[in-house]
Amino acid sequence: MSERIRVLVVDDSALMRKLIPAILAREPSIEVVGTAMDGAFALKKIEELQPDVVTLDLEMPRMDGIETLRLIMRRAPLPVILFSTHSKEGGYATFKALALGAVDFLAKPKDAAAGRLDEIAGQLIAKIKVAKRAAGRKLPPAVIVEAPAPKKGTRAALPPRRVIAIGISTGGPNALQFVLSQIPADFLSTILIVQHMPEGFTEMFAKRLDECCALEVHEARSGDLLLAGRVLICPGNRHMMVRRMPRGDMVILSDGPPVNGHRPSADVLFHSVAQEFGLVAVGILMTGMGDDGAEGLGAVKAAGGMTIAQSEDTCVVSGMPRAAILKGYASKIIPLDGLAAYLIGNYGAERSGADKSEKLEKHDKKSINEKNEKFEKNEKNEKNERTSVPSQRS
């Protein structure tokens, strides 16, 4: 039997310091080696007990979770799971803590004070196991938001050159902030993101990304148009799909059942993008555990779109991209630090000759909808009529 995962529980609530070890005791592979009532005690216990993983409350007296995490990462970095109350203030603190190096987070249930943690026991155990496997993985550099990123003035609402769909989970907040902060405001494509995240957190996450990115970022609403330079984050506990409508291409949200155990699900978004956009679709699977999005990425590839997986060695957890790679669904494998440059070079500026030929490869014409047929005709015309405007905007 492999060694058990040694966990230190840090929480100012005496009740939580009893309940959390109790639910973790159900898992034979986990051993709670100690508890601490605040950050100062936690730092001493870490030095004394040498845990593999720490669960950390953010709202504590004397030394709060943020300062504790900062010192943990400075002195002896180890995997930290944030386990704190869900509130607006707590949400912003959570994203700040993730930027400082926490592996993942889990919101305490609203009735946690009444001793009801059973509903999240499985999630916490799974996250601790993932955190242990992620030990030693290099996180992307933190993007410190001191002032909102400069936005371009009012820009024309232009249709996108490409519809880029991203599926991402554990390690996602830092990875997305790292990539999106490098993309300029005049990017010619639209980006749709399914980040596995609880309801209530996605709006704050979108606002944080909007502050650090030149792109326009917000939580998606049904009816939001797909526009160049716009990034839409799927709300927690909803599915996101796309539709071709007379007034423009747009997002549609759904309350359908979970897929692969997730709502939102990357598979739902990818299948929808493949069906509606075919050749102009781009699917990207990034860091995350499980296999959500793998089959959907295969659908994008089958429809003639481009499919990309983040390289496993640059993921906090490589389950999602690895699942697609093993099935042969990823046309390209790109490290995290190369993703932004690839997107800008291929989908954010004038279309190159190489890009033209890549998108005119063999495909099943029966699976292409009317918009894709029109796109293909415009592509061919571009070779004869040299213009400075991409065909998607003609």
Active site residues: 169, 196, 292
- What type of residue is 132? K
The gap from C-alpha 289 to its chain's centroid, in whole angstroms, comes to 11
Tokens representing 360 are: 């005119």
Cα 228 from Cα 391, distance rounded (Å): 14
Block residue for tokens 């669960």: 55
- What type of residue is 324? A
> What is the SS3 assignment for 65?
helix
Q: Which residues contact 125 (CB under 8 A, 6 or more apart)?
A: 23, 24, 26, 27, 30
CB 346 within 8 A of CB 359: no
**Cα radius of gyration (the chain):** 22
Q: Which residues contact 98 (CB under 8 A, 6 or more apart)?
A: 82, 105, 173, 174
Cα 8 from Cα 1, distance rounded (Å): 21
18 sits in which H/E element: helix 14-24
DSSP-assigned states of every residue in 229-288: TEEEEPPTT-EEEEEEETTEEEEEEE-PPPBTTBSS-HHHHHHHHHHHHGGGEEEEE-S-
288 to 47, 282, 385: CA distances (angstroms): 30, 19, 44
CB count in 10 Å sphere of residue 142: 15
Classify residue 190 by burial, with Cβ atoms within 10 Å: 0-12, 13-18, 19+. buried
CB 168 within 8 A of CB 196: yes
Note if the bond before 257 is cis, omega within 30 degrees: no
144 to 93, 95, 370: CA distances (angstroms): 13, 11, 44
